[in-house]
Amino acid sequence: MHRETKVLVIGTGFSGLGMAVELRRRGEHDFVVLEKAADLGGTWRDNSYPGCACDVPSHMYSFSFELNPKWSRMFARQGEIFDYLQRVADKYRLRPHIRFNTKVSGARWDDEAKRWHVTTEQGDTYTATALVAGVGALHIPNVPELPGIENFTGRTFHSAQWDHDYDLTGKRVAVVGTGASAIQFVPKIADRVGSMKIFQRTPPWIMPKADREITEREQRLFRALPFTQRLYRNFVYWVRESSALGFAVNPKIMQFAQGIALRHMKKQVPDPKLREKLKPGYTMGCKRVLISNDYYPALSRPNVDLVTDKISEVREKSIVDSAGVEHEVDVIIYGTGFHVVDSFDYLDIQGKGGVDLAKQWREKGIETYYGITVSGFPNLFFLLGPNTGLGHNSVVFMIESQIRYIAQCLRLLETHRAAELDVRLEAQQEFNSELQGKLTKGVWTQGGCQSWYLDAQGVNRTVWPGFTWRYWMRTKRVRAEDYVLTTAPRVKASR
Ligand SMILES: Cc1cc2nc3c(=O)[nH]c(=O)nc-3n(C[C@H](O)[C@H](O)[C@H](O)COP(=O)(O)OP(=O)(O)OC[C@H]3O[C@@H](n4cnc5c(N)ncnc54)[C@H](O)[C@@H]3O)c2cc1C
């Protein structure tokens, strides 16, 4: 099948759905959204592991144009966020635009026709004036290549591909990794498994979680007086925004928060030997700061062991650590996160002159303009692209800023009757040197850790350095002078 469309959007997470809503609001009907899975929801469709929840309060971790007075908890669980996204798709009548089970395999810019040619693994092709990639950064599970894993006869799965058919009751479980997902699912399964060995490489900083149910009364108030919910959202936003001071301005400020985290640990972990293993040796914020009230207590259970020696070998029914201890296990669960800085390697995008985006980024480093546009790749827009992730606030705020920016770019194309909008290389370079200058002063570089924020060269290609309102201000209006707008070659009428 071949289809021509004005705007082609990839993905149906917060990014793709938000973009589709904006297009509909602009009265645009000529757009298609491609989704590789059978359902929408992105992160919140894939991550159905026990205990999965957001770690930014729900009143902030949601669209500003679609506040949800019915959030049942401060930090909603996966099912509720998934339902919320389904409701957004229904309310804004997005489903007729979505093609499910359609995985984009490649996109090529046609310089003559000034169009993107997009191919899918299912053999369909699309031609589009603009291509919006809302493919997400945390959707390709990162499964470590453990030595000898091919000999393991038990079950293995990643937290983002939870095997709900596998009954963990009484099983000997190995958990690899102690990041954001692991600290959510470990407490939820610890009481039903026979034994659990948690293999930790680097301990995370864990803060208390200010979670609670949102009462019926509060929900009624939010429904009756929507401005109260808006006020509360703003309050959450500014509280979280203030923490950017420690991340980006002066990492020493983190000492205060570290004190809270250490007291939290001391209160919840009575065993000083276990506490020693759990004490991070880097500045808070260098890796994602986690929140939990039930992870530490789960570690103190008699059937749970924290192993800090590296995994040296996997055998048929066991894992051997670097101290030579053999741990017999029935199942290995990977809580090892996602491919992040290399997540774009999986998309084959060719811009002007056939330049391969992934190759260019591998060789020269990932550079974009505000994480949205890339010089030499006209009419291509990223949502939640490089250096727009956050450690301290809701990425939905960033996504919405980007959606507004892209909508303006599309308008620019129309008002200038242009066929091509390409960011000037000088603007992109200037932006990146300023960005990297700021990032090197931040906790991600100064904090003394290795994290998924950094690429192989240790350069931060993932997070936005600092306040999100600054990002909002700077992307509020598209500076036309930063772009080259090219009109389509006139087709001569034949007599
Ligand atoms: C467990 C978990 C908890 C999180 N909690 C928070 C939080 O509390 N606060 C926060 O700010 N962030 C959080 N995040 C980050 C989260 O990923 C983002 O907040 C947000 O959901 C990203 O939305 P997205 O639409 O950009 O990407 P995704 O939700 O990943 O959606 C991308 C979509 O694109 C589709 N897709 C990808 N490639 C292709 C292709 N080639 N062809 C077709 N379709 C494709 C995918 O199937 C997917 O549906 C969390 C992440 C995880 C994994």
Instruction: Work out whether the CA dihedral 454, 456, 459, 464 comes out positive or negative.
Output: negative
Identify the domain boundary among 285, 303, 334.
334
Which amino acids bring their CB within 6 angstroms of ligand 1?
10-16, 34-37, 42-43, 47, 52, 54-56, 61, 103-104, 134-136, 138-139, 181, 383-384, 390, 394-395
The token pair that represents 101 in the structure block: 């089970």
Ligand 1 center to residue 136 CA distance, Å? 4
Query: The pTM is what?
Result: 0.94
Ligand 1 center to residue 6 CA distance, Å? 24
Task: Please report the pLDDT score of residue 428 as a whole number.
Answer: 97
Ligand 1, atom 3: closest residue by C-alpha: 54
Separate counts of helices (H) and strands (E) for the chain? 15, 20
Ligand 1 center to residue 141 CA distance, Å? 12
Question: Relative to the CA of 15, which ligand 1 atom is closest?
Answer: 25
In this predicted model, what pLDDT tens digit does every residue of 188-213 receive, in sequence order?
A: 999 999 999 999 999 999 999 999 99
Task: Please report the pLDDT score of residue 109 as a whole number.
Answer: 98
Ligand 1, atom 30: closest residue by C-alpha: 136
Task: Please report the pLDDT score of residue 127 as a whole number.
Answer: 98
What is the Cα–Cα distance from 393 to 382, expressed in whole angstroms?
20
Ligand 1, atom 4: closest residue by C-alpha: 54
Percentage of the chain lying above the pLDDT 90 cut: 84
Confidence grade of residue 87 (pLDDT, cut at 50, 70, 90): very high
Ligand 1 center to residue 82 CA distance, Å? 11
Task: Please report the pLDDT score of residue 448 as a whole number.
Answer: 81
Question: Relative to the CA of 399, which ligand 1 atom is closest?
Answer: 26
Say if residue 305 is in the same domain as residue 208: yes
Instruction: Work out whether the CA dihedral 168, 173, 175, 180 comes out positive or negative.
Output: positive
Q: Is the pLDDT of residue 494 over 60?
A: no
Q: What is the DSSP string of 88-115?
A: HHHHTT-GGGEE-S--EEEEEEETTTTE
Say if residue 295 is in the same domain as residue 356: no
Average confidence (pLDDT) over 69-87: 98
Q: Report the residue among 40, 124, 138, 243 best suited for mutation to probe ligand 1: largest number of ligand atoms under 8 A from its CB.
A: 138
Ligand 1, atom 21: closest residue by C-alpha: 43
Ligand 1 center to residue 265 CA distance, Å? 30
With a CB cutoff of 8 Å and minimum separation 6, the contacts of 450 are 202
Average confidence (pLDDT) over 116-127: 97
Ligand 1 center to residue 63 CA distance, Å? 14
Residue 492 lies in a domain: no
Task: Determine whether 316 is exposed, middle or buried from the number of CB atoms within 10 Å of its CB (0-12, 13-18, 19+).
Answer: exposed
Overall residue count recorded for the chain in this entry: 495
* Poorest-pLDDT segment among 116-120, 171-175, 308-312, 447-451: 447-451
Question: Relative to the CA of 40, which ligand 1 atom is closest?
Answer: 49
Ligand 1, atom 27: closest residue by C-alpha: 136
Phi, psi values for residue 401, rounded to 5°: -60, -40
SS3 53: strand
Ligand 1 center to residue 341 CA distance, Å? 14
**Residue labelled with tokens 């959510």:** 184
Say if residue 330 is in the same domain as residue 386: no
**Residue bearing the bigger pLDDT, 447 or 366:** 366
Contact 119, 105 (CB under 8 A): yes
With a CB cutoff of 8 Å and minimum separation 6, the contacts of 29 are none
Confidence grade of residue 489 (pLDDT, cut at 50, 70, 90): low
Ligand 1, atom 13: closest residue by C-alpha: 54
Ligand 1, atom 49: closest residue by C-alpha: 42
Q: Is the pLDDT of residue 488 over 80?
A: no
Say if residue 20 is in the same domain as residue 168: no
Question: Relative to the CA of 43, which ligand 1 atom is closest?
Answer: 29
Q: Report the residue among 21, 32, 43, 105 best suited for mutation to probe ligand 1: largest number of ligand atoms under 8 A from its CB.
A: 43
- Residues facing residue 2 across a β-bridge: 125
Residue 494 lies in a domain: no
Say if residue 480 is in the same domain as residue 436: yes
Task: Please report the pLDDT score of residue 491 as a whole number.
Answer: 52
Say if residue 467 is in the same domain as residue 385: yes
Ligand 1 center to residue 43 CA distance, Å? 4
Say if residue 476 is in the same domain as residue 329: no
Closest CA to 335 of 136, 208, 190, 156: 156
Say if residue 106 is in the same domain as residue 232: no
Residue 495 lies in a domain: no
Count of domains forming the chain = 2
Phi, psi values for residue 491, rounded to 5°: -90, 120
Ligand 1 center to residue 324 CA distance, Å? 39
Q: Which amino acid is at 493?
A: A
**Which domain does 314 fall in, by range?**
149-212+221-334
Q: Report the residue among 33, 82, 139, 399 best suited for mutation to probe ligand 1: largest number of ligand atoms under 8 A from its CB.
A: 139
Task: Please report the pLDDT score of residue 276 as a whole number.
Answer: 97
Ligand 1 center to residue 254 CA distance, Å? 28
Q: Is the pLDDT of residue 495 over 50?
A: no
Ligand 1 center to residue 14 CA distance, Å? 7
Say if residue 323 is in the same domain as residue 464: no
Q: Where is 267: in which H helix or E strand?
A: helix 254-268
Identify the domain boundary among 283, 306, 334.
334
Q: Is the pLDDT of residue 399 over 70?
A: yes
In this predicted model, what pLDDT tens digit does every residue of 328-343 receive, in sequence order?
A: 999 999 999 988 767 7
What is the CATH classification number for the domain harbouring 253? 3.50.50.60
Say if residue 17 is in the same domain as residue 30: yes
Identify the domain boundary among 299, 334, 369.
334
In this predicted model, what pLDDT tens digit does every residue of 15-60 receive, in sequence order?
A: 999 999 999 999 999 999 999 999 999 999 999 999 999 999 999 9
Residue 397 lies in a domain: yes
Residue 96 lies in a domain: yes
Say if residue 369 is in the same domain as residue 466: yes
Q: Which residues of 82-110 are buried (b: 16+ CB within 10 A; e: fewer)?
A: bebbbebbeebebeebbbeebebeebebe
Ligand 1 center to residue 34 CA distance, Å? 15
Task: Please report the pLDDT score of residue 490 as a whole number.
Answer: 59
Residue 202 lies in a domain: yes
Q: Is the pLDDT of residue 110 over 50?
A: yes
Q: Is the pLDDT of residue 351 over 90?
A: yes
Say if residue 42 is in the same domain as residue 157: no
Q: Where is 222: in which H helix or E strand?
A: helix 216-224
- Residues facing residue 141 across a β-bridge: 338
What is the Cα–Cα distance from 193 to 336, expressed in whole angstroms?
20
